[in-house]
Amino acid sequence: MILAVAATEFEMAPLLHLLAEHGGQSSREGALPSCFTLIAGVGPVETTLRLTRYLERQDERIDKVLNFGVAGAYISESPMAQGNASLLDLCLAKQESLGDFGICFSDRIEPFAEKLGGSEIFPLDQPLLRQAREILARQQVACRCGNFVTVSAASATRKRGEMLAARYQGLCENMEGAAVARVCAEFSLPLLEVRAVSNLVEDRDPSRWKMTEACAGAAEAAALLIREMGKI
């Protein structure tokens, strides 16, 4: 069975509503006919703690994890970039990176040596990613696919976003994905991550954000993927 993970109740609520419409009973942290759900908290520390504790309590009923929610899209002029995502675009992760874990300078972040800090890059499950792209394509749901970056402090300037985008060839940033990826690797669980763009990573201007709409879009995609993967 799938475990659907979101950081906040605000992101989870639309999914619970959509799944309940198909015969389930929604709950903050529990099981629906088609999946389990978990609100894992904001940031990598809380996410790691809650997800690890949750998985340790489960038996072998969970066979894959779907992490979903909102993201901030990078604005990049790098020739390595494959085009910038726009507001409300749906994005699938190829890999997750710990973007601001390391040594912070004014214009860059240098990683610790792997023997000291561990890996900073976590490839996601490629067969699951291909399956998700096929499902969305069949349903004529447009999506982008690229590298996601996890940060402990959300980027509030375009300059920082450009730096992270260039370093990781990043499509967008969030605050939990790499933590979910690390825990899933520890439990040998395949992970799929889908996010909708709620804002651009620019000089901070919340008046331009589309948080409610992005939460709805991410939940709609997650519900579709959960339903279709459950048939396989």
The DSSP bridge pattern shows strands 103-104 and 121-123 to be unpaired
For residue 56, the surrounding DSSP H or E stretch is helix 44-57
* pLDDT of res. 102: 84
* pLDDT of res. 77: 80
* pLDDT of res. 109: 85
* pLDDT of res. 29: 47
Domains of the chain: 2-229 (3.40.50.1580)
pLDDT by position in tens, the chain (length 232): 899 999 999 999 999 999 887 654 434 444 555 789 999 999 999 999 999 999 999 867 899 999 999 999 999 886 666 679 999 999 999 999 999 988 888 888 888 877 776 788 999 999 999 999 999 999 999 999 999 999 999 999 999 999 999 999 999 999 999 999 999 999 999 999 999 999 999 999 999 999 999 999 999 999 999 999 976 5
The DSSP bridge pattern shows strands 121-123 and 90-98 to be antiparallel
Residue type present at position 14:
P
Q: Are 11 and 223 in contact (CB under 8 A)?
A: no
For 149, the token pair is: 């970056």
* pLDDT of res. 32: 53
Cα separation of 85 and 159, whole Å? 17
Please report, for residues 33, 35, 193, the alpha-carbon distance to residue 16 in angstroms, rounded to integers and kept in the order given. Answer: 11, 10, 17
How many CA within 13 A on the CB side of residue 220? 16
Q: Are 147 and 171 in contact (CB under 8 A)?
A: yes
pTM of structure: 0.91
For 27, the token pair is: 């709950």
Q: Is 73 helix (H, G, I), strand (E, B) or coil?
A: strand
